[in-house]
């Protein structure tokens, strides 16, 4: 299983006064492409599938984040699932088409939060496909129970975001929590980084 380095963006936990007024990460549908069965390779590096030499197509992104509870305390040992379509807009799922599928893209990954509630993945910048704005799915498990499923959106695609029904269904405050920038990663030129923080209700 590939090891993913510690988050590259500083994760700041809320102070007690902030925690009282903080808004929980909004719930959103998992969609039809959460895996029926986990792929043989489902580690935190979605850019490399099994032993394939060619890397996945698309803009490489280092994802980092932190999971906190309703009081703003870090949640350690939570299981994090991340999945999304490939650079051609195709999910690695039997319910989606095979034509154009990038065989080098893992499509789904799983990891756990550390003692500070932090986690990290490597994946690609999300792309649009018919009917949906670019997005990344995230699911959080605690003690074997799914406690949150949500989606994160690209801040640079405001036009597509506001044309997306699921995005518009959230309040402005909720949208602000799951709309994130993708910025240049100075630690690894040619890649991007983003931060997907989760606050449980």
Q: Residue 189 corresponds to which tokens in the numbers above?
A: 């030129």
Q: Which residues pair with 120 in a beta bridge?
A: 64
pLDDT confidence bin for 15, thresholds 50/70/90: very low
Integer angstrom CA distances of residue 114 from 16, 47, 71, 133, 168: 21, 22, 18, 31, 33
Contact between 6 and 118 (Cβ < 8 Å): yes
- Is the overall model pTM greater than 0.85, yes or no? yes
pLDDT of residue 49: 87
User: CB neighbours (10 Å) of residue 180?
Assistant: 20
Q: What are phi and psi of 166, to 5 degrees?
A: -65, -40
Which whole number is the average pLDDT over 136-164?
Answer: 98
Reported as a single tens digit per residue, the pLDDT across 45-57 is: 999 887 787 889 9
The percentage of the chain sitting over the pLDDT mark of 90, rounded to a whole number, equals 79
pLDDT of residue 11: 40
pLDDT for 80 beyond 50: yes
Reported as a single tens digit per residue, the pLDDT across 82-131 is: 999 999 999 999 999 989 999 999 999 999 999 999 999 999 999 999 99
Q: Residue 139 corresponds to which tokens in the numbers above?
A: 């699911």
pLDDT confidence bin for 21, thresholds 50/70/90: low
Contact between 47 and 84 (Cβ < 8 Å): no
- The CB-side HSE value for 32 (13 A sphere, CA atoms) comes to 8
Q: What is the DSSP letter of 170?
A: S
pLDDT of residue 79: 98
Structural domains in the chain, CATH included, are: 23-199 (2.60.130.10)
């Amino acid at each position: 299983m590939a090891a993913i380095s510690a988050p590259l963006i500083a994760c700041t936990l809320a102070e007690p006064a902030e925690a009282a007024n903080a808004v929980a990460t909004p719930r959103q549908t998992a969609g039809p492409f959460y895996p029926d069965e986990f792929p043989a390779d489902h580690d935190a590096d979605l850019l490399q599938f099994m032993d394939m030499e060619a890397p996945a197509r698309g803009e490489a992104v280092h994802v980092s984040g932190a999971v906190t509870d309703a009081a703003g305390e870090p949640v350690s040992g939570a299981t994090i699932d991340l999945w999304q379509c490939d650079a051609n807009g195709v999910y690695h799922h039997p319910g989606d088409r095979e034509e154009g599928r990038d065989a080098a893209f893992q499509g789904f990954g799983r990891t756990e939060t550390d003692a500070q509630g932090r986690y990290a993945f490597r994946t690609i910048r999300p792309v649009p496909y018919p009917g949906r704005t670019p997005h990344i799915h995230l699911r959080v498990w605690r003690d074997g129970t799914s406690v949150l499923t949500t989606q994160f959106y690209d801040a640079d695609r405001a036009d597509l975001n506001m044309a997306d029904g699921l995005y518009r269904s959230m309040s402005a405050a909720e949208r602000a929590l799951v709309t994130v920038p993708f910025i240049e990663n100075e630690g690894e030129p040619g890649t991007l980084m983003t931060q997907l923080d989760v606050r449980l209700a």
